[in-house]
Structure 1
């Protein structure tokens, strides 16, 4: 049983779609992964490469996903099934990937709420030992009631409530409110960081272009970051585009969403790198950096408590705008393809991913207590926890995007895709021949490079 097009939700405005899609793309990885990668790969040199990768590969894959969704007006699985039933599994791969990501994403989202409250009520306790505070939240000294249950449950409840209200009344309204607020916070924090005593070194590093720092690894890291930061490969953009009317300009929408996402990454870089240079703390990536190392940075700067409160509010906004898009991908599939009622579906899916997410946090704590690791292809993981990230970042996401570009470029065909992108010739697409080449050849090859580098060469690109 499937839901007819007439009964589906729809974005009420172009702005609503752009902010919602940008909210999906803007996630935790933009805030804490990008600055570390920029710092470790040449600063300004990396920025140039990153922008090129977004412009060439990121926009190509995003437009490919947009045309699939808008053409069929269906979720990721339904879209592929309608165009070629043999390839519906490609959409299924995306939905599965999003579900796994959301299992641990909601846990981290809960941690942002915990830290917002901590900076309001007990910042001195956080500052006493930032690393110990973070590890205690994970449960190294007992069951992590707050880190694994209470605050992740609050975060998931907020996400579920928004999704249960549908596209226009839930996703679109929240995105119109949160995305401008996110940009205001980010720009304000960036300005504050750049004016700290000693921050000039970090600003100069981010603006300096040094060709000698560019190598093959730099391109792969930039390509990987550009690809993953845009929420590609999990069917989210296919689902979001399915809520667009045939009058919307997919070409311009793709450009605007990619520009907004890139701006967030750049602003985050100019926020964090000058701040850590001002305090002498090396930037890094991941949860430990965001919740432990940066807490030490805030402790070391004037007005750090307010700075920290705003930063974790920023992380919360980035997390929830991404989580609603990922959950919507799974819910849309079950509602449209299985005939399930929307609100009940949200509850059932949320319950399952919450239980799995609890084990993610528990595994992080267990690793820190016991120091137990296991390895796969030379890459070490704590039990369960980082394996979920490895599975999605290095396998499922890139494979999903690879098969999507192959489908659009070779199975469905670029002529059909361009016809949909231009709304049957209504909108001009002067770069259509170049895009067709990119989606058929350059994008699949680039994605394969990501897979090979991350899976077989052991490079950290995600």
Structure 2
């Protein structure tokens, strides 16, 4: 859906939805702009954490750090808040702005051509190394043996989390694919391009699991804790206990930092493209201006992690799914034939497959998105009345 709208209109999300659906739909495009804006504000802070952990490996072994801090949790709390977190958030946003300001070909395309192959090579090398660890088999068994009973019992928690993860990792619901597709020629097979993206994305995610779980099990670290603790606390404990952990940690955190930069570039390009097309300013001013505003929104997150949760729950559970739902209504019910005609460019006559795609959007996809959005709203309300309310009581 995002591909056909982007290529058909050759515009940023606001201009694309205006051109495709009419004046009222430009506000839906605004949802995509706001989503990318919010996500990048705290994503940059987290990316700064990866850079910090990467640099810490050069300063001392991860085992030495744990001796200094007492435990990985204390190390995480110290390194992810305060002046250092603020400075690394600043540096990361400067790097992102610089690449986007150079343009699509001189900046974004050139950077991604270097970063993505490097990411894949590093992950393959790390996964091969993890295979040699003593308890790798136990890690693989845990990773590759899903408990379907848990899925059946806890689907109301799992569905919005899974939807948010799928949208986040594929850059959906935030205008990235609309913006990138606006640069594609009509000879491109959009279905093939979409399948390629999904294949690479899923493959890299699967490969990461083949690295993470053997390392955790070999170090005797519990892999069950969700969220940032898996990457920063559990993996740091593991690097402290396995042979060659210092080098592994440097490569691992460096790899994730590379991946974070490639994603940040995509997010900033969305809002930059909006400023260029709709406001009429040049690329350098758009990248610096939008990047600066995003940077300021993320500053509170360098002070306390609660602000990351506040922004992440809002973007991940609500905005991403809301944008996709509205887009599905536009494509499936308002202008379906325009979408089919655009999809057929570069492919040929789809026949009944085109209508099957539209009906898949109209019914099952919209139903799943509505349910996911409802569950996301409930989850966000629980966070606001729970953890965030407790933080306000303790700090104000």
TM, length-normalised to structure 1: 0.76
Tell me which moved more, 117-126 or 181-190.
117-126
| Residue of structure 2 in register with 1:397 after alignment | 320
Q: Which residue number in structure 2 is paired with residue 203 of structure 1? A: 140
Q: Does 1:410 align with 2:333?
A: yes
Out of 75, 90, 110, the position equivalent to 1:133 is 75
- The partner residue of 2:246 within 305, 317, 330 is 305
User: Quick one: which of 188, 204, 207 aligns to 1:248?
Assistant: 188
Q: Shift of the alpha carbon at 1:92?
A: 0.5
Distance 1:213 1:195, change over 3 A: farther
Residues 166 and 132 of structure 1: is their aligned pair in 2 closer, same or farther, counting only changes over 3 Å? same
* Structure 2 counterparts to residues 346-425 of structure 1, below 5 A: 346-364=287-305, 382=306, 384-413=307-336, 415-423=337-345
- Structure 1: which 5+ residue stretches go unaligned? 1-63, 365-381
CA RMSD, Structure 1 to Structure 2 (Å): 2.1
- Report deviation, 1:204: 2.0
214, 230, 242: which one aligns with 1:289 = 230
Q: Using a 3 Å threshold, how does the CA distance of structure 1 residues 429 and 179 change in structure 2: closer, same or farther?
A: farther
CA distance in 1: counterparts of 2:153 and 2:250, whole angstroms: 38
- The counterpart of 1:159, out of the listed 91, 96, 100, is 96
Q: Specify which of 257, 273, 284 is matched with residue 316 of structure 1.
A: 257
- Cα deviation digits, residues 230-279 of structure 1 (max 9, x gap): 11111111001001111111110000001111111111122112221222
- Is 1:170 aligned with 2:107? yes
Consecutive unaligned residues of structure 2, counting only runs of 5 or more, are: 383-396
- Residue 152 (structure 2) aligned to one of 202, 210, 215: 215
Aligned pair count reads 373
Q: Indicate conservation of the 8 Å contact 2:48/2:92, yes or no.
A: yes
Judge conservation of contact 2:216–2:234 (CA < 8 Å) in 1: no
1:100 aligns with 2:38: yes
Aligned counterparts of 1:357 and 1:95: Cα–Cα separation in 2? 16
- CA deviations on 1:285-331 (whole Å, 9 max, x unpaired) are 33333222211111111110111011101111110110000000000
Query: Is the contact made by 2:48 and 2:89 (CA closer than 8 Å) also made in structure 1?
Result: yes
Contact between 2:41 and 2:295, CA under 8 Å: does it hold in 1?
A: yes
Residue 124 of structure 2 is matched in structure 1 by 187
User: How far off its partner does 1:195 sit?
Assistant: 2.3
Give the corresponding residue for 1:437: 359
Residue 329 (str. 1) matches residue 265 (str. 2): no
Q: 1:425 to 1:189 in 2, by over 3 A?
A: closer
TM-score (norm 2): 0.88
For the 8 Å contact 1:249–1:427, the answer to whether it is kept is no
Contact 1:251 1:422 (8 Å CA) reproduced: no
Is contact 1:295–1:308 with CA below 8 Å preserved after alignment? yes
Q: How far off its partner does 1:459 sit?
A: 11
Counterpart secondary structure, 1:215: helix
Partner of 1:228: 168
The residue number in structure 2 matching 1:23 is none
Which deviations, in whole Å up to 9, do the C-alpha atoms of 1:350-409 show, x marking residues without a partner?
222212211112122xxxxxxxxxxxxxxxxx3x33111111011111101111111111
Aligned residues of 2:219 and 2:237 also touching (Cα < 8 A): no
1:90 and 2:28 are equivalent in the alignment: yes
How far is 1:191 from its partner?
2.0
Equivalent pair of 1:185/1:314 in contact (CA under 8 Å): yes
For 2:89 and 2:120, locate their aligned partners in 1 and report how far apart those are by CA, in whole Å: 24
Assess, with a 3 A threshold, how the Cα gap between structure 1 residues 335 and 108 changes in structure 2: closer, same or farther: same
* Contact 1:453 1:459 (8 Å CA) reproduced: no
CA displacement at 1:206 relative to structure 2:
2.9
Name the SS for the 1:233 alignment partner.
coil
Query: For 2:111, what is the secondary structure of its paired residue?
Result: helix
